[in-house]
Chain A
Amino acid sequence: MTFRRLGWTAALLAALGFLLAPPAWQLITSLKPQEELGSLPPLLPEQPTLAQYRSVFEGRPFGRYVVNSAIVATLTMTLAIAFGAPAAYALARLPLRGSGFLLFGFLVVAMFPPIAIVSPLYLGIRAVGLRDTWWALVAADTTFALPLTIWILSTFFREIPRDLIRAARVDGATVGQAFFFVALPAAAPGIAAAAILAFVFAWNEFLFALIFTSSPAAQTVPVGIALFPGLNEMPWGEIAAASLMASAPVLLLILVFQRRIVQGLTAGAVKE
């Protein structure tokens, strides 16, 4: 019996190693002073320093990028829930004609290559004068976060016992009140999960940020990282440091909300 246990543990460690080694290496890299970057063997920094982190901010508005990302991600998260929750509820629990059609429509949207519709979107955003603003990104990100958000939320809404809603209606609540005061609280875990996923999506989003923005006024962190190459060679240490700072909020989120995220992505199928 114990041989098998060892085998499983070894496999688990191998898998975790494969998944964690690259970011771990990035962390190590970010702590190396400039001189040590160009040489291996010494794998670990002999003189670990935070200099790389500091120089990330030199000569580039990295702080501004972070602020932009935070604003865009938060707004996207809010809007995705604000628009997605009622829609999901309607799809799950209300008599809606053409709901299959709507779902199919959402699926089609999810299947279309974003790169393709970027061009008309870009033209449209430029025409409305929203180029290089947060709102352009928020609108686009929310739109593409909605299919997943609605899918997750409708599964959670479907789990709510019909009798709960009926009791509220009999007690005198309107459809809207039943939704807001009974269904929403009951689906709270699903909402948390969907919100987190929307935030992660918006924070990590690259394509729209790249194309719709042109200045630090609205550029987000992923764009900032992509723009790193200076005139000469790549500042790998700075890139590593910037990468970790860029990922920190999201990593923090998954550390705290791991259970919620797993619940959301698997529509509640995986228990603790």
Chain B
Amino acid sequence: MTRETNQAYFFVAPAFTLVTLLALVPLIAVVWMSLRRVMPVFGIDRWASFANFAHLFSDSRFWSSLETTLYFAVVAVTLEIALGLGIALLLHRSFRGRGLARTAVLIPWALPTVVAARMWEWIYNPDFGIMNYLLQKLSLTSGPVSWLGDPFWAIHAAILADAWKTTPFAALILLAGLAAIPPDLARAARVDGAGSFRVFFEITLPLLRPALVVTALFRFLDSFRVFDAIYVLTGGGPANTTETLAVYIYKVVFQTLRFGYGSAIAVTMFLLAGAASVLIVGLAGRGAFGVREG
């Protein structure tokens, strides 16, 4: 048996080595750098202990970007789960052309983030964008709105664009969850006397809990770390109203070239993400992973 165990290590070796080299080592390097003052351009690299983290506390821009990030994540995830659940329910029924519908649903997911961001930028364009055109046509707005230039609207425009792109993923995970529910349960409930609403709320939703938790978790983690879409859409503006933690880190590291401080922010971000995950799983996950069929 031990010989097989040794052979097993060979199987894992290539993947393990690559991930260690390119993910684990940099990760450790980041933690390392967070404790130092590093500015390669100036050749600075010296020990700073927790100075970076202390600075973090008093950095108002950090706190506002954290607030922005949390707002973004919570709103986006809620939107994605609501839309995703709706789409999953629609795709769960069998109908002609379901394969085509699924392909269509995958399209937003398949587009490169940059492409999707530019696409929405064009839609949001204050002068030539179709969003303003349609809203004015429908008399919902009186004048052109600068979606990406307005301090209030920018973050919401970004949320819509991001949710649009990632809802398919949520829909698919939830669809898998729906498919795992034995169809006899809904039938038994209907024979017992439940109408469609009761079946959904008393049977489907409770049994969908594990899938919902998984979706919420993954989507939250992704939204918390969002970078691509924001960078292309708004670059963090206007007036830093859409500056999420990831964008802030980018600016700190690649614009002000403070690798050490940037790493400290990253480590904090990672810890916060971890804490949030524990919270999510703890709050909603109790019993979600222990339900077996009867």
Contact = CB atoms under 8 A, between A and B. Distances in A.
The reply, when asked whether chain A contacts chain B directly with Cβ atoms under 8 A, is yes
A16 B251 CA distance: 37
A1 to B, nearest CB: 12
A146 B18 contact: yes
A70 B14 CA distance: 24
A76 B113 CA distance: 18
A20 B224 CA distance: 26
Contact of B164 (A22, A251, A270): A22
A240 interface: yes
Given A143-B22, A204-B113, A265-B172, A84 B254 contact: no
A236 B125 contact: yes
A116 to B, nearest CB: 3
B93 A8 contact: yes
A179 B11 contact: yes
B22 A243 contact: no
- The CB with the most chain A CB atoms within 10 A, among B12, B259, B266, is that of B12
Given A113-B246, A146-B15, A269-B179, A23 B128 contact: no
Contacts of B15: 83-84, 86-87, 146, 150
Interface string A216-257: 000001110110100000001001100100110011011100
- The CB with the most chain B CB atoms within 10 A, among A117, A222, A226, is that of A117
B39 to A, nearest CB: 11
B16 A87 contact: yes
Contact of B113 (A20, A112, A124, A206): A206
Interface stretch (A45-53, A54-62, A90-98, A187-195): A90-98
A37 interface: yes
Contacts of B101: 12, 16
Contacts of A118: 253
B72 interface: no
A225 B118 contact: yes
B143 interface: no
B14 A87 contact: yes
A266 B120 contact: no
A115 B103 CA distance: 31
Interface string A29-40: 100000001111
A89 B268 CA distance: 35
B14 to A, nearest CB: 4
A87 B10 CA distance: 9
Contacts of A254: 103, 106-107, 110
Contacts of A236: 122, 125, 128
B61 interface: no
Given A115-B246, A119-B253, A240-B122, A86 B14 contact: yes
B19 interface: yes
Contacts of B236: none
A116 B225 CA distance: 10
Given A26-B122, A265-B173, A116 B18 contact: no
Contacts of B111: 23, 204, 243, 247, 250-251
Contact of A259 (B25, B26, B99, B277): B99
B86 A11 contact: yes
A167 interface: no
A44 to B, nearest CB: 12
A164 interface: no
- The CB with the most chain A CB atoms within 10 A, among B8, B266, B267, is that of B8
Nearest to B120: A22
B175 interface: yes
A124 B173 contact: no
Interface in B27-53: 27, 29-30, 33, 40
Interface string B168-183: 1100110111011000
Given A109-B23, A247-B112, A207 B30 contact: no
Nearest to B1: A95
A118 B29 CA distance: 11
A214 interface: no
A172 interface: no
Contact of B123 (A18, A25, A265): A25
B130 interface: yes
Interface in B110-163: 110-116, 118-120, 122-123, 125, 127-128, 130, 133
Contacts of B164: 18-19, 22
Contacts of B133: 40-41
Contact of A266 (B8, B90, B114, B173): B173
Closest 3 CB pairs of A and B: A116-B266, A266-B176, A90-B11
8 contacts: A43-B130, A113-B227, A113-B249, A146-B18, A150-B15, A246-B112, A266-B175, A271-B179
Given A113-B266, A143-B19, 9 more contacts: A15-B90, A22-B119, A119-B33, A123-B259, A150-B15, A179-B11, A258-B103, A258-B106, A261-B106
